Amino acid sequence: MRALVLALIAPLAFAAAPAGAQRAPSAEQLIQALKPGPGQLSDTTRGIRAIKAKETAEAAAPSVDLSVEFATASSALTPQARTTLDALGKALSSADLAQYRFRIEGHTDTVGSAAYNTALSERRAQAVADYLEKSFGVASARLEPVGMGEQGLLVPTPPQTPNAQNRRVKVVNLGG
């Protein structure tokens, strides 16, 4: 009976944990999320080049949203950010992903002006790319840092609404 109660309560305990307490994904989990599946990132079929809309191709591209914590209003990486980026660096350095290029998208919430958030997200995306290059030897030619600012909110919120889920880094596999 005790085992049954624990089995029922344990998932609720994890669900109640604050978002900041969630573990960063492992390098293996990131490899699986970013490795293309059948038909993804291929633009040819039987020697004929398929024409795709950019949005369709990007929507089909393997990607992952990561919670990367920065100092407030800064591009300085926190120790928690480094832990997450260490797993990403190991994944991008793996043989499974070494042949691919990746867009590193910095995203913000809606607090502050749109121009400020775009500039901040650009600095943060560049900080992530710099960390991956310096710490894991990921070639800068394989990384495309882009500041998205408030574009592409994970959780739609009104202006001037803080939301930690929107402050993230999205990594998108751009292909070889």
2: in domain: no
4: in domain: no
Contact 68, 84 (CB under 8 A): yes
5: in domain: no
9: in domain: no
Per-residue pLDDT at 84: 97
Total residues belonging to the chain: 176
For 33-88, the pLDDT digits (tens) are 999 988 776 544 444 444 444 444 456 899 999 999 988 889 999 999 999 999 99
Mean pLDDT of 136-154: 97
Domain range for residue 44? 22-175
pLDDT of 138 strictly over 60: yes
Of 102, 80, 81, nearest to 31 by C-alpha is 102
DSSP one-letter code for 112: S
Of 91, 43, 86, nearest to 63 by C-alpha is 91
Per-residue pLDDT at 60: 81
Count of CB atoms within 10 A of residue 4's CB? Answer: 8
- Which amino acid makes up residue 43? D
Q: Which residues of 122-153 are buried (b: 16+ CB within 10 A; e: fewer)?
A: bbbbbbbbebbbeeeebeeebbebbbbbbeeb
For the chain, percent of residues with pLDDT exceeding 70? 77
pLDDT of 126 strictly over 90: yes
Mean pLDDT of 120-144: 98
CATH of the domain at 133: 3.30.1330.60
Per-residue pLDDT at 38: 82
Per-residue pLDDT at 40: 75
104: in domain: yes
Contact 87, 68 (CB under 8 A): no
pLDDT of 128 strictly over 90: yes
Number of structural domains (the chain) is: 1
38: in domain: yes
61: in domain: yes
26: in domain: yes
